[in-house]
Every structure is written in C-alpha cells, then in structure tokens.
Amino acid sequence: MNCETKTLPSGIVIENKPNKYEKYCWYIEGTYILHNEDEPSLEYKDGEKFRYQHGKCHRLDGPAREYPNGNKYHYYINDVFYNEEEYWIKIKEDSYLKDHPELEAFV
C-alpha cells in the first residue's frame, strides 16, 4: 500500500497509513503516533472521526470524537475527557482564548 505524506504548517510531516477499516490514519512520519492539526487524525470508513495531536486525543475548538449519527459529545484536551460544559469552562479558564482568539466564536 502506498503512503500519502503531507507537511503541516507546523513543519511536522505526517503520513496516512490506513488499514482495511480506516479511510484515513495520519501518523507522524516514521512513527505510529497519531497526529493532525486541523483535521481528524483517524477516520473510519463508517464515518467515525478522532482528532489527535502528538498521540493524545485533543481538540480546542470542539469535540475530539465525532460519530456518523451526528453525536459530538467527546471533548478532550491533551487526552483528558471533559463533558461539554466543563470543556468550555476549561477553554476560558486556561487562557486558550488568549493564545487562540479564533475560539472566541465557540464560547
């Protein structure tokens, strides 16, 4: 199977190495550390999507896990799970808004 690679704005090179169940599975090049910055790192053929950065389930502008039926209730920051209310409180309290002003539209 041929691997697709791309360089992210951060300079990290990632490669897509899906198995028969996955549509996309982006790893840091030469590793099995899931990573992508603005898109899902892992997408199954059934439409379930996961966002990882440096191997940790992580997203700052919404749920890190999304399901084909539209459910979007798994919020993670650096591999720590939060319910939706806790998540947005954490975003506000931990100054993510200062470093990521684009998140203001979500809170």
- Contact predicate 45/23, CB 8 Å: yes
User: So what's the pLDDT on residue 99?
Assistant: 64
The rounded distance, in Å, linking the Cα atoms of 43 and 26 is 9
Residue 91 has what pLDDT?
83
Q: What is the pTM of this model?
A: 0.83
CA distance 98 to 22: 36
Q: How many CB atoms lie within 10 A of CB 6?
A: 12
pLDDT at 102 (0 to 100): 56
Residue-range domain boundaries for the chain: 4-106
Burial pattern 79-90, b for ≥16 Cβ within 10 A else e, equals eeebeeeebeee
* Tens digit of each residue's pLDDT, the chain (107 residues): 567 999 999 999 999 999 999 999 999 999 999 999 989 999 999 999 999 999 999 998 899 999 999 888 899 999 999 999 999 888 888 766 566 665 555 54
